Amino acid sequence: MIKMIATDVDGTLLKWSYEYSPYVKDTIKRVQEAGIKVVLVTGRMHCAALGIAKELGIKEPIVSYQGGMIKEFYKSDKVLYRKDMNSERALEIIDWARENNIHINLYMDDVLYVEQDSETIRKYTDARFIDYHICKFDSLKIQNVNKILAIDFDDPDRVTGWVNDLGKMFPDLYTVKSTPYFCEIANKDATKGNAVKFLQDLWGIKQEEILSIGDQDNDIELLKAGGIKIAMGNSTPALRECADFVTDTVDNDGWATAVEHFCLECVK
C-alpha cells in the first residue's frame, strides 16, 4: 500500500501554463483523506512552492532546491534538512557565467539575486510570482547558497552543453537539466532522491510504499527513490528509462490518472 507520494511540480502537477486542473486538486484531497502523505519535491525555491502547497491543501514539508532543503510550513517553519553549495564553488560558477555571458540566478537563504535586470529574469519570475534582488554579486557575502541556476530560453542545446561541461569541470557538484532551458547547479548531495530518503527514514516508510512521479532529467533520482516509479507522458527519454510506468501528459491530467489508479483504485 502506498503511504507517500513524492511528486515533482512543474510539468507534472502543474501545467506549463502554470495551472492545475480540478481533477488534480480533487485527487490530492482524496489521497490525503486516505492517509497518504503528498510531498512536493521541486527545484523551485521554498517560497515559490509554498503558495502551490497551500492552494492544493498539502500540509507536508516541502522539498525545494532539487533536494537541497526540506522545510516545514504548516505548523512551523522548521528546516528539517539542508545541503548548501560550497561557497568557493559558488564563486567559481559565478566567474564561469561571467566569462561565458550566461545569465544565472543566485539563491541564498531562499532569496533570489541577479546581477542585472533583463527579459530573462522577468520571464522567469513572472511565471512563478516571486521577487528578485538586483545587485553585483561582489557586494554580497557568498554563503548559505541554496543553488545556482543558469538559464537560456532560446537555445536548449546550449543548456545541455553547460550540463556536460560543468559536470566535467566540477564533478563534486550536482549539475542537471531541469527543463530544456534550465541548468541547475547545487551541492552534490542536494538531489530529490536523497531528500525523499530522508523523509522515508523520518516517517518510517518503506521504499515500496512510496510512489514517485516526475517529468524531467532532474527527476531521475526522485523516481529511483520510489517503489512505484512513474514518468509523465511529457517526460524526457532518460526519465522514461527509469520508470516502471508512463502515464498521460500533464495537459491530460496524467498525474491524477496515475495516482488514482495506484493509490485509490488498488486499495478498494
Instruction: Tell me whether residue 225 is exposed, middle or buried, using C-beta atoms within 10 angstroms of its C-beta: 0 to 12, 13 to 18, 19 or more.
Output: buried
Question: For the segment 201-232, what is each residue's pLDDT rounded down to a tens digit?
Answer: 999 999 999 999 999 999 999 999 999 999 99
Residue 18, pLDDT score: 76
Q: How far apart are the C-alpha atoms of 38 and 32, rounded to whole Å?
A: 7
Mean pLDDT value across the chain: 95
Q: Compute the distance between CA of residue 132 and CA of residue 35 in angstroms, rounded to an integer.
A: 37
Contact assessment for residue 146 and residue 48, using Cβ atoms and an 8 Å cutoff? no
Q: Which CATH number fits domain 87-187: 3.60.15.10, 3.30.1490.190, 3.30.1240.10, 3.30.210.10?
A: 3.30.1240.10
Class of domain 4-82+190-267: alpha beta
Q: CATH 3.40.50.1000: which residues of the chain?
A: 4-82+190-267
Helix or strand (DSSP H, E) at 76: none
pLDDT at 130: 87
C-alpha–C-alpha distance, residues 53 and 35, integer Å: 17
Please tell me the distance from the alpha carbon of residue 21 to that of residue 73, in angstroms, as a whole number: 24
Closest CA to 107 of 123, 84, 80: 84
- pLDDT, residue 251, reads 95
Handedness of CA 92, 194, 212, 264 (dihedral sign): negative
Amino acid in the structure at residue 178: S
pLDDT beneath 50, residues of the chain: 268
What residue ranges of the chain are covered by domains with CATH 3.30.1240.10? 87-187
Report pLDDT for 266. Answer: 61
